[in-house]
């Protein structure tokens, strides 16, 4: 019996190594490890749904390609009601970039089709911050998917997931 089982162990280990749970670990990548513009590459021209890579957390630099970056956050800790998402975009030399088009789609991953807003445009504030109200209508898992365009072209896609 033992002789029969032993050869099976190695193929099982190989299977485990060959199929790591990539999506589950995506959220643990730190900002500096995240490839710039990785999200923008997904699905371009392939007809597939675009990929939204997990962004580093609030207050951290999120690379958006070619040395540019953004920093995002909320006006308060996300809770039931309306929260304001704030995105500040910077050029590679650290100057604020107000030339971008920033879109946000919020919803609950566990309730696909129930709450998605579709891409809503962030509005540029006088301070040069991109702002978007997000309605949290029930407790649970939420996700905001950011799409950033420059000159009409998508340069970045990223996702922020959180619990309420
Ligand atoms: Cu829901």
| Residue 53 confidence (pLDDT) | 95
Per-residue confidence at 3, pLDDT binned at 50, 70, 90? Answer: low
Gap from CA of 48 to ligand 1 centroid (Å): 25
Per-residue confidence at 8, pLDDT binned at 50, 70, 90? Answer: very low
Gap from CA of 1 to ligand 1 centroid (Å): 50
Helix (H) or strand (E) holding 10: helix 2-18
Question: Domain 31-163's class?
Answer: mainly beta
Tens digit of each residue's pLDDT (9 = 90 or more) over 105-158 = 999 999 999 999 999 999 999 999 999 999 999 999 999 999 999 999 999 999
Gap from CA of 46 to ligand 1 centroid (Å): 30
Gap from CA of 24 to ligand 1 centroid (Å): 21
| Residue 48 confidence (pLDDT) | 81
| Residue 152 confidence (pLDDT) | 96
Residue spans per domain, the chain: 31-163
Tens digit of each residue's pLDDT (9 = 90 or more) over 51-102 = 999 999 999 999 999 999 999 999 999 999 999 999 999 999 999 999 999 9
pTM given for the model: 0.71
Tens digit of each residue's pLDDT (9 = 90 or more) over 20-62 = 433 333 333 333 444 444 444 444 455 788 999 999 999 999 9
């Amino acid at each position: 019996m033992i002789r029969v089982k032993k050869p099976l162990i190695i193929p099982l280990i190989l299977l485990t190594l060959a199929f790591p749970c990539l999506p589950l670990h995506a959220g643990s990548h730190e900002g500096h490890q995240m490839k710039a513009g990785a999200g923008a590459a997904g699905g371009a021209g392939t007809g597939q749904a675009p990929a939204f890579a997990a962004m580093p957390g609030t207050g951290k630099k999120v690379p958006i390609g070619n040395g540019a970056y953004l920093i995002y956050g909320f006006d308060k800790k996300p809770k039931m009601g309306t929260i304001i998402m704030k995105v500040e975009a910077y050029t590679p030399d650290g100057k604020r970039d107000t030339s971008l088009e920033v879109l946000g789609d919020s919803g609950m991953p566990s309730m696909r089709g129930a709450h998605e807003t579709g891409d809503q445009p962030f509005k540029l504030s006088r301070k040069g911050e991109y702002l978007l109200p997000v309605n949290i209508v029930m407790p649970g898992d939420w996700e905001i998917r950011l799409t950033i365009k420059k000159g009409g072209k998508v340069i970045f896609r990223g996702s922020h997931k959180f619990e309420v």
